[in-house]
Amino acid sequence: MAEKNAPLKDDGIKRKIRDFVARATAVGLHTSISDIANRVGKEVGVLDEKWVKYTTIEFHNGLNREFYKVVPKKDRVVFIPHCLRNIKECKMPIDEDGYHCLKCDKCVICDIVKECDKNNMKYFIVGGGSQVINIVNKYKPKAVLGIACFNELQMAMEKLGGGSRFPGQGVMLKKDGCVNTQVDIDEIREKINM
């Protein structure tokens, strides 16, 4: 039995944040997302900057969730950051549409690609936000799932908008940086399968 005052593990924190976001988006927002993210941090008892950022992304996700879910999977695009690849082992070729996974099973990108294939979803392995915008303009998807660090997700959400016009979902990296980053594959599967 867990202690009543034991610190929450990441999954518990994520669940609490998502529950709060679901309640807040159901009644409407009357303040800025960053103010709400800070309030959630205080209520959940986690004031760490990473959780404030996670909450901010989850609010964007919550506001766009229903619009995203109605778009058929074949009309969605998944953007995967190349920084998730195993840089020492990766032999992916690259062109103007990004990297092309060889499905070697040496990094998490292979798992994401297989999930996209299973769900008949187009995906791109990209280097950053400007490449995402170029691909969106070229292929004109109806919805987007972006996997990235907080700053890249924020930039994409601001440039692409959201709502019924262009719904999106974001999954923030667990460990960011420009190489050998990490992500929660279960979060990605959940958003792909919405």
Q: Are residues 77 and 161 in the same domain?
A: yes
Q: For residues 120 and 61, what is the distance between their CA atoms, to the nearest angstrom?
A: 22
pLDDT value, residue 29? 56
Domain assignment of residue 31, given as a range: 1-66
Is residue 21 over pLDDT 90?
no
> Which pLDDT tens digit goes with each residue over 93-106?
999 899 999 999 99
Q: Which residue has the tokens 């609490």?
A: 16
Over residues 170-194, the mean pLDDT reads 91
> Which pLDDT tens digit goes with each residue over 129-156?
788 888 999 999 999 999 999 988 888 8
Asked if residues 122 and 77 have their Cβ atoms less than 8 Å apart, the reply is yes
Q: Are residues 103 and 173 in the same domain?
A: yes
> Which pLDDT tens digit goes with each residue over 33-79?
666 666 666 666 666 677 778 888 888 898 889 999 999 999 999 99
Q: Are residues 164 and 84 in the same domain?
A: yes
Q: Are residues 78 and 110 in the same domain?
A: yes
pLDDT value, residue 25? 63
Is residue 182 over pLDDT 70?
yes
Helices (H) and strands (E) in the chain, counts: 7, 6
Asked if residues 103 and 80 have their Cβ atoms less than 8 Å apart, the reply is no
Q: For residues 5 and 67, what is the distance between their CA atoms, to the nearest angstrom?
A: 38
Q: Are residues 2 and 90 in the same domain?
A: no
For the chain, percent of residues with pLDDT exceeding 90: 45
Q: Are residues 123 and 184 in the same domain?
A: yes
Q: Which residues contact 60 (CB under 8 A, 6 or more apart)?
A: 33, 153, 157, 162, 168, 170
Q: Are residues 93 and 155 in the same domain?
A: yes
Q: Are residues 158 and 185 in the same domain?
A: yes
Q: Are residues 61 and 156 in the same domain?
A: no
Q: Are residues 74 and 62 in the same domain?
A: no
The number of domains in the chain is 2
